[in-house]
Amino acid sequence: QENSSTGCEGPKTTITVTVNALPVAPGATTTVDYCEGATASALTASATSGHTLVWYDTDGTTVLSSAPTPSTSTATTTAYYVAQKKTLTGCEGPKTTITVTVVPTPSAPTVSDVSYCEGDVASALTATASSGNTLVWYDENQILITTGAPTPSTSSVASTTYYVAQKTSSQCEGPKASITVTVNALPSAPSATSSIEYCKGDVASALTATASGSHTLVWYDTDGTTVLSSAPTPSTSAVGSTDYYVAQENSSTGCEGPKTTITV
């Protein structure tokens, strides 16, 4: 300093100015995905030795007291921010952005119940998933089936419920839809006179059989496979023995039972 009256200047004081380096942005997983409604964990980042983390809310300016735990109650995308501060200098570096995406839960897939007759050849169950989603199948105990859509057994009369959900590409699984598979009993063979005799040239009558309850008769030609529109009237023009066949069908289930053979 200098005395203004005398012009005399005294010794110097040294002032050292130190410009400290800023820490780098902390390391972190910059994208975090959750399924809607999932239990979230507090966000994480890695500070280097001698540094502490500084967390910011979604506005990028509000300092939080600790790492935030994102909400998963609504499907949305939210950004959080974190920086690191050097303990010795108090210098804070640039922020790392962590984007949290909450994926919406898919709806239950579209399904229909299935009915079979006992002993039918069954097909694998089907359901309709939304575009981009995959189906996840469960058995009657809601245990995951890892081999895909199940093919129900029709070996015995039963009613079994299977379950199916759909899953997004982010592995978010929605609620299950239920598919009830009903295996209906076969009717018994209809009662009929199993042997009928005519003399050659006699006037024959249409064959008869008795169906039970709400069942209807199904008549077959002599090959046993061609379904006839009604009970056949056998020909008596030639001597011989001919077999015709008749079964009964349950009108409610559409299940047809074994055939009764009528020998003319």
| pLDDT category of residue 181 using cuts at 50, 70 and 90 | very high
pLDDT at 170: 87
Phi, psi of 71 (to 5 degrees): -80, 140
Task: Give the predicted TM-score (pTM) of the model.
Answer: 0.74
Tokens in use for 236? 């008596």
CB neighbour list of residue 162: distance below 8 Å, 6 or more residues apart: 125, 137, 138, 139, 140, 150, 152, 178, 179, 181
DSSP code at position 40: P
CA distances for 12 relative to 1, 15, 17, angstroms? 7, 10, 16
CB neighbour list of residue 13: distance below 8 Å, 6 or more residues apart: none
pLDDT at 213: 87
- pLDDT tens readout for residues 141-174: 999 999 999 999 999 999 999 999 999 998 999 9
The CB density around residue 14, as the number of other CB atoms within 10 Å, is 4
pLDDT at 48: 96
pLDDT at 86 over 90: yes
pLDDT at 262: 98
Do 200 and 237 form a contact (C-beta atoms < 8 A)?
A: yes
